[in-house]
Chain A
Protein backbone atom coordinates (compact mmCIF):
# COMPACT_ATOMS: atom_id res chain seq x y z
CA UNK A 1 0.00 0.00 0.00
CA UNK A 2 2.89 2.34 0.77
CA UNK A 3 5.17 1.23 -2.06
CA UNK A 4 3.65 3.46 -4.77
CA UNK A 5 3.79 6.57 -2.54
CA UNK A 6 7.41 5.69 -1.64
CA UNK A 7 8.47 5.67 -5.32
CA UNK A 8 6.55 8.85 -6.15
CA UNK A 9 7.81 10.41 -2.92
CA UNK A 10 11.40 9.64 -3.95
CA UNK A 11 10.76 11.31 -7.33
CA UNK A 12 9.28 14.37 -5.62
CA UNK A 13 12.19 14.51 -3.16
CA UNK A 14 14.79 14.07 -5.90
CA UNK A 15 13.36 16.92 -7.93
CA UNK A 16 12.85 19.16 -4.92
CA UNK A 17 16.45 18.75 -3.82
CA UNK A 18 17.81 19.80 -7.20
CA UNK A 19 15.20 22.26 -8.45
CA UNK A 20 13.68 23.60 -5.23
CA UNK A 21 10.01 23.10 -5.96
CA UNK A 22 7.27 20.55 -5.45
CA UNK A 23 6.10 19.13 -8.75
CA UNK A 24 2.53 18.04 -9.47
CA UNK A 25 3.28 17.07 -13.10
CA UNK A 26 5.09 14.01 -11.71
CA UNK A 27 1.64 12.47 -11.14
CA UNK A 28 0.72 12.81 -14.82
CA UNK A 29 4.13 11.46 -15.87
CA UNK A 30 3.54 8.40 -13.67
CA UNK A 31 0.24 7.83 -15.46
CA UNK A 32 1.92 8.22 -18.86
CA UNK A 33 4.51 5.68 -17.73
CA UNK A 34 1.74 3.28 -16.73
CA UNK A 35 0.02 3.44 -20.12
CA UNK A 36 3.29 3.16 -22.01
CA UNK A 37 4.28 0.17 -19.87
CA UNK A 38 0.94 -1.53 -20.62
CA UNK A 39 1.46 -0.98 -24.36
CA UNK A 40 5.06 -2.21 -24.29
CA UNK A 41 4.23 -5.23 -22.13
CA UNK A 42 1.87 -6.45 -24.82
CA UNK A 43 4.78 -6.44 -27.31
CA UNK A 44 7.90 -7.23 -25.33
CA UNK A 45 9.25 -8.64 -22.05
CA UNK A 46 8.51 -7.22 -18.60
CA UNK A 47 12.04 -5.86 -18.14
CA UNK A 48 12.13 -4.16 -21.54
CA UNK A 49 8.67 -2.68 -20.97
CA UNK A 50 9.65 -1.31 -17.56
CA UNK A 51 12.94 0.14 -18.85
CA UNK A 52 11.13 1.66 -21.84
CA UNK A 53 8.48 3.26 -19.64
CA UNK A 54 11.11 4.57 -17.22
CA UNK A 55 13.25 6.01 -20.02
CA UNK A 56 10.33 7.66 -21.79
CA UNK A 57 9.05 9.13 -18.51
CA UNK A 58 12.52 10.43 -17.72
CA UNK A 59 12.75 12.08 -21.13
CA UNK A 60 9.31 13.73 -20.69
CA UNK A 61 10.35 15.11 -17.29
CA UNK A 62 13.65 16.32 -18.71
CA UNK A 63 11.85 18.05 -21.59
CA UNK A 64 9.53 19.77 -19.11
CA UNK A 65 12.51 20.85 -17.05
CA UNK A 66 14.38 22.27 -20.04
CA UNK A 67 11.35 23.90 -21.70
CA UNK A 68 9.45 25.22 -18.68
CA UNK A 69 11.05 25.01 -15.23
CA UNK A 70 14.53 26.11 -16.16
CA UNK A 71 13.38 29.21 -18.17
CA UNK A 72 11.00 30.13 -15.33
CA UNK A 73 13.82 29.94 -12.80
CA UNK A 74 16.12 31.98 -15.05
CA UNK A 75 13.46 34.72 -15.08
CA UNK A 76 13.47 34.78 -11.30
CA UNK A 77 10.22 32.87 -10.74
CA UNK A 78 9.66 31.65 -7.19
CA UNK A 79 8.91 28.07 -6.23
CA UNK A 80 5.15 28.76 -6.05
CA UNK A 81 5.17 29.98 -9.67
CA UNK A 82 6.98 26.83 -10.78
CA UNK A 83 4.51 24.75 -8.77
CA UNK A 84 1.65 26.53 -10.55
CA UNK A 85 3.28 25.78 -13.90
CA UNK A 86 3.46 22.14 -12.85
CA UNK A 87 -0.29 22.25 -12.15
CA UNK A 88 -0.80 23.52 -15.72
CA UNK A 89 1.42 20.77 -17.08
CA UNK A 90 -0.44 18.19 -15.02
CA UNK A 91 -3.75 19.33 -16.53
CA UNK A 92 -2.30 19.22 -20.07
CA UNK A 93 -0.65 15.82 -19.73
CA UNK A 94 -3.46 14.02 -17.90
CA UNK A 95 -6.05 15.30 -20.40
CA UNK A 96 -3.77 14.31 -23.25
CA UNK A 97 -3.62 10.78 -21.83
CA UNK A 98 -7.39 10.85 -21.37
CA UNK A 99 -7.86 11.90 -25.02
CA UNK A 100 -5.50 9.24 -26.35
CA UNK A 101 -6.84 6.38 -24.24
CA UNK A 102 -10.56 7.30 -24.17
CA UNK A 103 -10.32 6.90 -20.36
CA UNK A 104 -9.85 3.13 -20.64
CA UNK A 105 -7.90 1.94 -17.57
CA UNK A 106 -4.34 0.65 -17.96
CA UNK A 107 -4.41 -2.82 -16.38
CA UNK A 108 -1.34 -4.69 -17.64
CA UNK A 109 -1.12 -8.34 -16.65
CA UNK A 110 1.93 -10.54 -16.05
CA UNK A 111 2.05 -14.15 -17.14
CA UNK A 112 0.02 -16.85 -15.38
CA UNK A 113 0.70 -18.64 -13.08
CA UNK A 114 2.15 -15.97 -10.73
CA UNK A 115 5.90 -15.44 -10.90
CA UNK A 116 6.36 -15.11 -7.14
CA UNK A 117 4.88 -17.56 -4.70
CA UNK A 118 4.32 -15.12 -1.84
CA UNK A 119 1.08 -15.90 -0.03
CA UNK A 120 -1.52 -13.15 0.02
CA UNK A 121 0.42 -10.91 -2.38
CA UNK A 122 0.02 -10.49 -6.12
CA UNK A 123 3.00 -10.28 -8.47
CA UNK A 124 2.31 -6.58 -8.89
CA UNK A 125 2.49 -6.01 -5.13
CA UNK A 126 5.71 -8.00 -4.77
CA UNK A 127 7.31 -6.07 -7.65
CA UNK A 128 6.07 -2.72 -6.35
CA UNK A 129 7.35 -3.40 -2.84
CA UNK A 130 10.72 -4.69 -4.13
CA UNK A 131 11.17 -1.69 -6.41
CA UNK A 132 10.31 0.71 -3.59
CA UNK A 133 12.79 -0.96 -1.23
CA UNK A 134 15.51 -1.12 -3.89
CA UNK A 135 15.03 2.49 -5.00
CA UNK A 136 15.04 3.75 -1.41
CA UNK A 137 18.32 2.00 -0.64
CA UNK A 138 19.80 3.00 -4.00
CA UNK A 139 18.73 6.62 -3.47
CA UNK A 140 20.23 6.66 0.01
CA UNK A 141 23.46 5.15 -1.32
CA UNK A 142 23.66 7.61 -4.20
CA UNK A 143 23.11 10.57 -1.86
CA UNK A 144 25.65 9.42 0.70
CA UNK A 145 28.34 7.64 -1.28
CA UNK A 146 28.63 9.17 -4.75
CA UNK A 147 29.94 12.49 -6.06
CA UNK A 148 26.61 13.12 -7.80
CA UNK A 149 24.79 12.61 -4.50
CA UNK A 150 27.19 14.96 -2.75
CA UNK A 151 26.62 17.55 -5.49
CA UNK A 152 22.85 17.11 -5.12
CA UNK A 153 23.06 17.66 -1.38
CA UNK A 154 25.29 20.68 -1.85
CA UNK A 155 22.87 22.24 -4.37
CA UNK A 156 19.92 21.54 -2.07
CA UNK A 157 21.65 23.12 0.95
CA UNK A 158 23.10 26.18 -0.72
CA UNK A 159 22.95 26.51 -4.52
CA UNK A 160 25.07 29.68 -4.64
CA UNK A 161 27.85 28.17 -2.58
CA UNK A 162 27.63 24.95 -4.59
CA UNK A 163 27.98 26.89 -7.84
CA UNK A 164 30.90 28.90 -6.44
CA UNK A 165 32.57 25.58 -5.52
CA UNK A 166 32.49 24.48 -9.15
CA UNK A 167 29.38 22.31 -9.01
CA UNK A 168 27.12 22.82 -12.01
CA UNK A 169 23.66 23.27 -10.45
CA UNK A 170 22.09 22.95 -13.89
CA UNK A 171 23.87 19.65 -14.59
CA UNK A 172 22.68 18.32 -11.23
CA UNK A 173 19.12 19.53 -11.92
CA UNK A 174 19.09 17.84 -15.36
CA UNK A 175 20.19 14.54 -13.81
CA UNK A 176 17.62 14.89 -11.03
CA UNK A 177 14.83 15.63 -13.53
CA UNK A 178 15.76 12.58 -15.58
CA UNK A 179 15.91 10.39 -12.46
CA UNK A 180 12.65 11.75 -11.02
CA UNK A 181 10.81 11.16 -14.29
CA UNK A 182 12.15 7.61 -14.52
CA UNK A 183 11.11 6.90 -10.92
CA UNK A 184 7.65 8.28 -11.61
CA UNK A 185 7.39 6.08 -14.71
CA UNK A 186 8.36 2.97 -12.70
CA UNK A 187 5.90 3.91 -9.95
CA UNK A 188 3.10 4.33 -12.50
CA UNK A 189 3.94 1.08 -14.30
CA UNK A 190 4.07 -1.04 -11.14
CA UNK A 191 0.96 0.63 -9.67
CA UNK A 192 -0.84 -0.27 -12.90
CA UNK A 193 0.23 -3.89 -12.40
CA UNK A 194 -1.11 -3.82 -8.86
CA UNK A 195 -4.36 -1.85 -9.02
CA UNK A 196 -4.70 -0.49 -12.56
CA UNK A 197 -4.41 3.20 -13.47
CA UNK A 198 -6.80 5.67 -15.13
CA UNK A 199 -5.82 9.10 -16.52
CA UNK A 200 -7.06 10.88 -13.39
CA UNK A 201 -5.04 8.65 -11.03
CA UNK A 202 -2.02 10.94 -11.27
CA UNK A 203 -3.16 13.50 -8.73
CA UNK A 204 -3.82 10.87 -6.07
CA UNK A 205 -0.46 9.21 -6.77
CA UNK A 206 1.38 12.53 -6.58
CA UNK A 207 -0.36 13.69 -3.41
CA UNK A 208 0.36 10.38 -1.69
CA UNK A 209 4.05 10.85 -2.52
CA UNK A 210 4.00 14.51 -1.50
CA UNK A 211 2.44 13.59 1.87
CA UNK A 212 5.32 11.18 2.50
CA UNK A 213 7.94 13.78 1.50
CA UNK A 214 6.45 16.56 3.61
CA UNK A 215 5.76 14.38 6.64
CA UNK A 216 9.40 13.26 6.35
CA UNK A 217 10.43 16.93 6.30
CA UNK A 218 12.18 16.82 2.89
CA UNK A 219 14.93 14.67 4.33
CA UNK A 220 16.54 11.45 3.07
CA UNK A 221 14.98 8.67 0.95
CA UNK A 222 14.85 6.45 4.05
CA UNK A 223 12.86 9.11 5.91
CA UNK A 224 10.46 9.36 2.94
CA UNK A 225 9.99 5.59 2.94
CA UNK A 226 9.40 5.62 6.69
CA UNK A 227 6.86 8.42 6.38
CA UNK A 228 5.04 6.63 3.54
CA UNK A 229 4.83 3.49 5.68
CA UNK A 230 3.55 5.52 8.64
CA UNK A 231 0.88 7.21 6.49
CA UNK A 232 -0.18 3.85 5.05
CA UNK A 233 -0.37 2.38 8.57
CA UNK A 234 -2.52 5.32 9.67
CA UNK A 235 -4.81 4.79 6.68
CA UNK A 236 -5.14 1.09 7.50
CA UNK A 237 -5.88 1.89 11.14
CA UNK A 238 -8.56 4.34 9.96
CA UNK A 239 -10.12 1.64 7.81
CA UNK A 240 -10.06 -0.90 10.64
CA UNK A 241 -11.11 1.21 13.63
CA UNK A 242 -12.90 4.21 12.13
CA UNK A 243 -14.70 4.67 8.83
CA UNK A 244 -13.08 3.56 5.53
CA UNK A 245 -14.61 6.61 3.82
CA UNK A 246 -12.58 9.10 5.87
CA UNK A 247 -9.24 7.46 4.96
CA UNK A 248 -8.35 9.88 2.14
CA UNK A 249 -9.73 12.98 3.86
CA UNK A 250 -7.59 12.15 6.89
CA UNK A 251 -4.50 11.81 4.66
CA UNK A 252 -5.04 15.29 3.21
CA UNK A 253 -5.63 16.80 6.63
CA UNK A 254 -2.38 15.14 7.70
CA UNK A 255 -0.66 16.77 4.72
CA UNK A 256 -2.01 20.16 5.72
CA UNK A 257 -0.99 19.60 9.36
CA UNK A 258 2.53 18.59 8.25
CA UNK A 259 2.86 21.65 6.04
CA UNK A 260 1.60 23.85 8.86
CA UNK A 261 3.93 22.23 11.38
CA UNK A 262 7.02 22.49 9.16
CA UNK A 263 6.18 25.90 7.67
CA UNK A 264 9.36 27.55 8.99
CA UNK A 265 11.62 24.67 8.06
CA UNK A 266 10.56 23.63 4.57
CA UNK A 267 12.80 25.86 2.52
CA UNK A 268 13.43 25.02 -1.10
CA UNK A 269 16.67 25.51 -2.96
CA UNK A 270 16.78 26.91 -6.47
CA UNK A 271 18.67 25.70 -9.46
CA UNK A 272 18.58 25.53 -13.20
Chain B
Protein backbone atom coordinates (compact mmCIF):
# COMPACT_ATOMS: atom_id res chain seq x y z
CA UNK B 1 0.00 0.00 0.00
CA UNK B 2 2.86 2.36 0.84
CA UNK B 3 4.45 1.46 -2.51
CA UNK B 4 1.28 2.46 -4.38
CA UNK B 5 1.07 5.67 -2.36
CA UNK B 6 4.73 6.40 -3.18
CA UNK B 7 4.03 5.96 -6.90
CA UNK B 8 0.99 8.23 -6.62
CA UNK B 9 3.03 10.91 -4.83
CA UNK B 10 5.57 10.80 -7.68
CA UNK B 11 2.71 10.94 -10.18
CA UNK B 12 1.26 13.99 -8.40
CA UNK B 13 4.58 15.85 -8.54
CA UNK B 14 5.10 14.90 -12.18
CA UNK B 15 1.55 15.96 -13.07
CA UNK B 16 2.15 19.46 -11.69
CA UNK B 17 5.35 19.73 -13.71
CA UNK B 18 3.92 18.39 -16.97
CA UNK B 19 0.63 20.32 -16.72
CA UNK B 20 2.44 23.61 -16.02
CA UNK B 21 4.94 23.09 -18.85
CA UNK B 22 2.03 22.15 -21.12
CA UNK B 23 0.69 25.70 -20.65
CA UNK B 24 4.01 27.12 -21.82
CA UNK B 25 5.05 24.59 -24.48
CA UNK B 26 1.72 23.14 -25.63
CA UNK B 27 -0.77 25.99 -25.33
CA UNK B 28 1.60 28.92 -25.97
CA UNK B 29 4.10 27.11 -28.21
CA UNK B 30 7.20 28.17 -26.24
CA UNK B 31 9.40 25.07 -26.15
CA UNK B 32 11.17 25.75 -22.89
CA UNK B 33 13.87 23.40 -21.62
CA UNK B 34 14.31 25.16 -18.27
CA UNK B 35 11.49 23.72 -16.18
CA UNK B 36 13.77 21.71 -13.89
CA UNK B 37 15.52 24.98 -13.02
CA UNK B 38 12.26 26.33 -11.59
CA UNK B 39 11.61 23.00 -9.87
CA UNK B 40 15.03 23.37 -8.28
CA UNK B 41 14.42 27.02 -7.31
CA UNK B 42 11.25 25.89 -5.54
CA UNK B 43 12.92 22.92 -3.86
CA UNK B 44 15.90 24.92 -2.59
CA UNK B 45 13.66 27.76 -1.41
CA UNK B 46 11.49 25.29 0.51
CA UNK B 47 14.57 23.58 1.92
CA UNK B 48 16.16 26.85 3.02
CA UNK B 49 13.07 28.49 4.53
CA UNK B 50 12.17 25.36 6.49
CA UNK B 51 15.65 24.46 7.75
CA UNK B 52 17.05 27.98 8.33
CA UNK B 53 14.00 30.17 8.94
CA UNK B 54 11.76 27.51 10.42
CA UNK B 55 8.80 28.33 8.17
CA UNK B 56 6.00 25.75 8.19
CA UNK B 57 3.62 24.53 5.50
CA UNK B 58 2.02 26.30 3.57
CA UNK B 59 4.25 29.37 4.02
CA UNK B 60 7.20 27.43 2.51
CA UNK B 61 5.12 26.52 -0.52
CA UNK B 62 4.07 30.14 -0.99
CA UNK B 63 7.71 31.26 -0.71
CA UNK B 64 8.80 28.64 -3.26
CA UNK B 65 6.05 29.64 -5.70
CA UNK B 66 7.02 33.29 -5.28
CA UNK B 67 10.74 32.77 -5.84
CA UNK B 68 10.23 30.42 -8.81
CA UNK B 69 7.54 32.74 -10.20
CA UNK B 70 9.88 35.75 -10.01
CA UNK B 71 12.57 33.64 -11.69
CA UNK B 72 10.07 32.70 -14.39
CA UNK B 73 9.04 36.34 -14.80
CA UNK B 74 12.64 37.44 -15.36
CA UNK B 75 13.65 34.54 -17.61
CA UNK B 76 10.28 34.55 -19.39
CA UNK B 77 10.84 38.21 -20.25
CA UNK B 78 13.97 37.28 -22.16
CA UNK B 79 12.71 33.96 -23.50
CA UNK B 80 9.50 35.44 -24.91
CA UNK B 81 11.62 37.42 -27.38
CA UNK B 82 13.30 34.28 -28.71
CA UNK B 83 11.81 32.04 -31.36
CA UNK B 84 12.11 28.54 -32.74
CA UNK B 85 15.25 26.54 -31.92
CA UNK B 86 16.90 29.59 -30.36
CA UNK B 87 14.21 29.62 -27.70
CA UNK B 88 14.95 25.94 -27.02
CA UNK B 89 18.70 26.50 -26.88
CA UNK B 90 18.38 29.77 -24.94
CA UNK B 91 16.24 28.20 -22.21
CA UNK B 92 18.60 25.23 -22.22
CA UNK B 93 21.52 27.57 -21.55
CA UNK B 94 19.59 29.19 -18.69
CA UNK B 95 18.78 25.73 -17.31
CA UNK B 96 22.45 24.75 -17.20
CA UNK B 97 23.51 28.12 -15.78
CA UNK B 98 20.97 27.71 -12.94
CA UNK B 99 22.18 24.15 -12.37
CA UNK B 100 25.75 25.43 -12.12
CA UNK B 101 24.49 27.95 -9.55
CA UNK B 102 22.92 25.14 -7.48
CA UNK B 103 26.12 23.11 -7.77
CA UNK B 104 28.65 25.82 -6.99
CA UNK B 105 26.95 28.21 -4.56
CA UNK B 106 27.90 25.87 -1.75
CA UNK B 107 27.33 28.35 1.12
CA UNK B 108 23.64 28.43 0.32
CA UNK B 109 22.81 25.22 -1.56
CA UNK B 110 25.33 22.86 0.01
CA UNK B 111 26.85 22.24 -3.44
CA UNK B 112 27.15 18.63 -4.59
CA UNK B 113 26.46 17.46 -1.02
CA UNK B 114 23.01 19.04 -1.22
CA UNK B 115 20.70 20.20 1.54
CA UNK B 116 19.78 17.67 4.20
CA UNK B 117 17.23 17.47 6.93
CA UNK B 118 14.24 19.10 5.25
CA UNK B 119 11.38 18.12 7.57
CA UNK B 120 8.14 16.49 6.45
CA UNK B 121 5.26 18.98 6.63
CA UNK B 122 2.57 18.89 9.28
CA UNK B 123 -1.14 19.32 8.61
CA UNK B 124 -3.83 20.18 11.14
CA UNK B 125 -5.67 17.07 12.44
CA UNK B 126 -3.37 14.63 10.57
CA UNK B 127 -0.09 15.84 12.04
CA UNK B 128 3.32 15.10 10.45
CA UNK B 129 3.07 13.47 7.01
CA UNK B 130 5.65 10.80 7.67
CA UNK B 131 4.47 7.92 5.47
CA UNK B 132 3.87 8.04 1.70
CA UNK B 133 0.16 7.48 2.35
CA UNK B 134 0.02 10.51 4.61
CA UNK B 135 2.06 12.62 2.19
CA UNK B 136 -0.34 11.68 -0.60
CA UNK B 137 -3.05 13.54 1.36
CA UNK B 138 -1.09 16.71 0.63
CA UNK B 139 0.42 15.93 -2.79
CA UNK B 140 -2.73 14.67 -4.54
CA UNK B 141 -4.98 17.68 -3.75
CA UNK B 142 -2.18 20.09 -4.66
CA UNK B 143 -1.65 18.26 -7.98
CA UNK B 144 -5.38 18.15 -8.74
CA UNK B 145 -5.69 21.85 -7.98
CA UNK B 146 -2.69 22.69 -10.17
CA UNK B 147 -4.05 20.55 -13.01
CA UNK B 148 -7.50 22.16 -12.66
CA UNK B 149 -5.93 25.64 -12.68
CA UNK B 150 -4.01 24.81 -15.85
CA UNK B 151 -7.15 23.51 -17.57
CA UNK B 152 -9.12 26.59 -16.47
CA UNK B 153 -6.44 28.94 -17.77
CA UNK B 154 -6.23 27.02 -21.03
CA UNK B 155 -10.03 27.31 -21.50
CA UNK B 156 -10.22 30.98 -20.47
CA UNK B 157 -10.05 34.01 -22.79
CA UNK B 158 -6.40 34.32 -21.73
CA UNK B 159 -5.87 30.71 -22.85
CA UNK B 160 -7.39 31.54 -26.22
CA UNK B 161 -5.00 34.49 -26.47
CA UNK B 162 -2.11 32.13 -25.72
CA UNK B 163 -3.22 29.78 -28.51
CA UNK B 164 -3.53 32.73 -30.88
CA UNK B 165 0.01 33.77 -29.95
CA UNK B 166 1.15 30.19 -30.61
CA UNK B 167 -0.59 29.95 -33.98
CA UNK B 168 -0.08 33.48 -35.31
CA UNK B 169 1.76 35.97 -33.13
CA UNK B 170 1.67 38.67 -35.78
CA UNK B 171 -2.13 38.43 -35.94
CA UNK B 172 -2.31 38.66 -32.15
CA UNK B 173 -0.23 41.83 -32.19
CA UNK B 174 -2.28 43.21 -35.08
CA UNK B 175 -5.38 42.75 -32.91
CA UNK B 176 -3.74 44.90 -30.26
CA UNK B 177 -2.77 42.05 -27.93
CA UNK B 178 0.49 42.27 -26.04
CA UNK B 179 1.89 38.87 -26.96
CA UNK B 180 5.16 39.40 -25.09
CA UNK B 181 3.34 40.20 -21.84
CA UNK B 182 1.07 37.16 -22.31
CA UNK B 183 4.04 34.85 -22.89
CA UNK B 184 5.90 36.30 -19.95
CA UNK B 185 2.88 35.93 -17.66
CA UNK B 186 2.26 32.28 -18.55
CA UNK B 187 5.97 31.52 -18.22
CA UNK B 188 5.99 33.03 -14.71
CA UNK B 189 2.81 31.17 -13.74
CA UNK B 190 4.18 27.83 -14.94
CA UNK B 191 7.46 28.51 -13.12
CA UNK B 192 5.52 29.22 -9.92
CA UNK B 193 3.71 25.90 -10.28
CA UNK B 194 7.04 24.15 -10.84
CA UNK B 195 8.17 25.85 -7.63
CA UNK B 196 5.16 24.30 -5.85
CA UNK B 197 6.23 20.90 -7.20
CA UNK B 198 9.74 21.67 -5.93
CA UNK B 199 8.35 22.18 -2.42
CA UNK B 200 6.74 18.75 -2.59
CA UNK B 201 10.02 17.20 -3.79
CA UNK B 202 12.02 18.82 -0.96
CA UNK B 203 9.47 17.99 1.70
CA UNK B 204 8.93 14.41 0.49
CA UNK B 205 12.55 13.42 0.00
CA UNK B 206 13.90 15.48 2.91
CA UNK B 207 17.07 15.92 0.89
CA UNK B 208 17.86 18.08 -2.15
CA UNK B 209 20.73 17.47 -4.56
CA UNK B 210 21.55 19.70 -7.55
CA UNK B 211 21.71 16.69 -9.91
CA UNK B 212 17.92 16.31 -9.56
CA UNK B 213 17.60 19.64 -11.39
CA UNK B 214 20.05 19.41 -14.28
CA UNK B 215 19.23 19.55 -17.98
CA UNK B 216 18.03 15.97 -18.41
CA UNK B 217 14.91 16.23 -16.19
CA UNK B 218 13.94 19.37 -18.13
CA UNK B 219 14.23 17.51 -21.43
CA UNK B 220 12.26 14.57 -20.05
CA UNK B 221 9.43 16.78 -18.77
CA UNK B 222 9.20 18.42 -22.19
CA UNK B 223 9.22 14.94 -23.74
CA UNK B 224 6.35 13.95 -21.42
CA UNK B 225 4.38 17.01 -22.61
CA UNK B 226 4.91 16.10 -26.27
CA UNK B 227 4.37 12.35 -25.85
CA UNK B 228 1.21 13.00 -23.82
CA UNK B 229 -0.09 15.54 -26.32
CA UNK B 230 1.15 19.14 -26.29
CA UNK B 231 -1.64 21.67 -25.83
CA UNK B 232 -4.26 19.03 -25.02
CA UNK B 233 -6.39 18.85 -21.90
CA UNK B 234 -5.53 15.33 -20.76
CA UNK B 235 -2.13 15.06 -22.43
CA UNK B 236 -0.24 16.08 -19.28
CA UNK B 237 -2.00 13.32 -17.37
CA UNK B 238 -1.02 10.72 -19.99
CA UNK B 239 2.55 12.04 -20.21
CA UNK B 240 3.04 12.15 -16.44
CA UNK B 241 1.53 8.67 -15.99
CA UNK B 242 3.78 7.20 -18.66
CA UNK B 243 6.80 8.95 -17.16
CA UNK B 244 6.18 7.59 -13.66
CA UNK B 245 4.76 4.16 -14.48
CA UNK B 246 7.32 3.15 -17.12
CA UNK B 247 10.16 2.47 -14.64
CA UNK B 248 7.72 0.63 -12.37
CA UNK B 249 6.73 -1.53 -15.35
CA UNK B 250 10.40 -2.19 -16.18
CA UNK B 251 11.01 -3.21 -12.57
CA UNK B 252 8.67 -6.19 -13.13
CA UNK B 253 11.37 -7.82 -15.27
CA UNK B 254 13.82 -7.89 -12.35
CA UNK B 255 16.30 -5.54 -14.02
CA UNK B 256 18.90 -3.77 -11.87
CA UNK B 257 18.22 -0.14 -10.91
CA UNK B 258 20.79 1.65 -13.11
CA UNK B 259 19.67 -0.38 -16.13
CA UNK B 260 16.05 0.62 -15.47
CA UNK B 261 17.15 4.27 -15.40
CA UNK B 262 18.92 3.88 -18.76
CA UNK B 263 16.05 1.94 -20.33
CA UNK B 264 13.46 4.46 -19.14
CA UNK B 265 15.38 7.27 -20.76
CA UNK B 266 15.96 5.30 -23.97
CA UNK B 267 12.23 4.51 -24.21
CA UNK B 268 11.31 8.14 -23.48
CA UNK B 269 13.81 9.49 -26.00
CA UNK B 270 12.54 7.04 -28.62
CA UNK B 271 8.91 7.89 -27.82
CA UNK B 272 9.70 11.59 -28.23
CA UNK B 273 11.21 10.99 -31.67
CA UNK B 274 8.41 8.61 -32.73
CA UNK B 275 5.72 11.02 -31.58
CA UNK B 276 7.34 13.90 -33.46
CA UNK B 277 7.51 11.69 -36.55
CA UNK B 278 4.19 9.88 -36.54
CA UNK B 279 2.02 11.17 -33.70
CA UNK B 280 2.58 14.93 -33.47
CA UNK B 281 -0.63 15.35 -31.44
CA UNK B 282 0.66 12.92 -28.81
CA UNK B 283 -1.19 10.13 -27.00
CA UNK B 284 -4.13 12.39 -26.04
CA UNK B 285 -4.15 14.08 -29.42
CA UNK B 286 -7.85 13.84 -30.20
CA UNK B 287 -8.84 15.85 -27.14
CA UNK B 288 -6.87 18.88 -28.22
CA UNK B 289 -8.71 21.82 -26.75
CA UNK B 290 -9.41 24.83 -28.82
CA UNK B 291 -9.58 22.84 -32.05
Instruction: Digitize A53-92: 1 where CB-to-B-CB distance is under 8 Å, 0 elsewhere.
Output: 0000000000000001001100101111111110111111
B86: nearest chain-A partner, CB-CB:
A259
Complex interface bits, A250-271 against B, C-beta within 8 A gives 1, otherwise 0 = 0011011001100100101000
Question: Interface digits, A151-192 against B, CB 8 Å rule (1 contact, 0 not)?
Answer: 000000000000000000000000000000000000000000
Q: Mark B253-268, 1 if CB is under 8 A from A, else 0.
A: 0000011001101101
**Shortest distance between the CB of B37 and any CB in chain A (Å):** 11
CB closest residue in chain B, given A199: B262
CB neighbours (8 Å) of B84 from chain A are 78-80, 268
Q: Which residues of A contact B88 (CB under 8 A)?
A: 80, 83-84
| A249 lies within 8 A of B262 (CB) | no
A81 contacts across to B, CB distance below 8 A: 276
Q: Are A84 and B93 in contact (CB under 8 A)?
A: no
Stretch in contact with the other chain, from B40-48, B216-224, B281-289? B216-224
Q: For residues 72 through 104 of chain B, which have their beta carbon under 8 Å from a beta carbon of chain A?
A: 78, 81-90, 92-94, 96-97, 100-101, 103-104
Verify B219–A256 contact, CB threshold 8 A. Answer: no
Contact B269 A95 (CB under 8 A): yes
A256: contacting residue among B78, B226, B272, CB under 8 A: B78
Which A residues from 189 to 238 make CB contacts under 8 A with B? Answer: 203, 207, 210, 214
Q: Which residues of A contact B269 (CB under 8 A)?
A: 87-92, 95
Chain A residue at minimal CB-CB distance from B105: A245
CB-CB under 8 A from B100, the residues of chain A are 245-246, 248-249, 252
Does B31 make an interface contact (CB < 8 A)? yes
- Check A142 for interface membership: any CB of B closer than 8 A: no
Would you call B93 and A77 a contact (CB within 8 A)? no
Residue from the set B104, B220, B259, B263 with the largest chain A CB neighbour count within 10 Å? B104
Residue of B90, B96, B266, B272 touching A84 (CB-CB under 8 A): B272
* Residue contact A260 to B270, C-beta cutoff 8 Å: no
- Interface status of A22 (Cβ within 8 A of chain B): yes
Chain B interface residue number, banded: 35 or more
Chain B contacts of A266 at CB under 8 A?
86
The CA of A82 and the CA of B263, in the complex, are separated in Å by 23
A42: interface (CB < 8 Å) = no
| Chain A residues whose CB sits within 8 angstroms of the CB of B103 once the complex forms | 245
A22 to B87, CA, bound (A): 12
Do A84 and B31 contact each other (CB < 8 Å), given the known contacts A95-B262, A256-B90?
A: yes
* 29 A-B pairs (CB sep. < 8 Å): A80-B85, A80-B87, A84-B222, A84-B276, A85-B273, A87-B33, A88-B223, A88-B268, A88-B269, A88-B276, A91-B216, A91-B223, A91-B269, A92-B269, A92-B273, A95-B262, A95-B265, A95-B266, A96-B262, A99-B266, A103-B258, A207-B93, A243-B104, A249-B104, A252-B93, A255-B90, A255-B93, A263-B81, A263-B86
Instruction: Give the 5 A-B residue pairs with the shortest CB-CB distance, closest first.
Output: A91-B269, A249-B100, A88-B272, A245-B104, A92-B269
Given A92-B270, A92-B273: 17 more A-B contacts, CB < 8 Å:
A72-B277, A78-B84, A84-B88, A84-B222, A85-B276, A90-B269, A91-B216, A103-B258, A246-B100, A249-B97, A249-B101, A252-B93, A252-B94, A252-B97, A253-B93, A256-B97, A260-B82
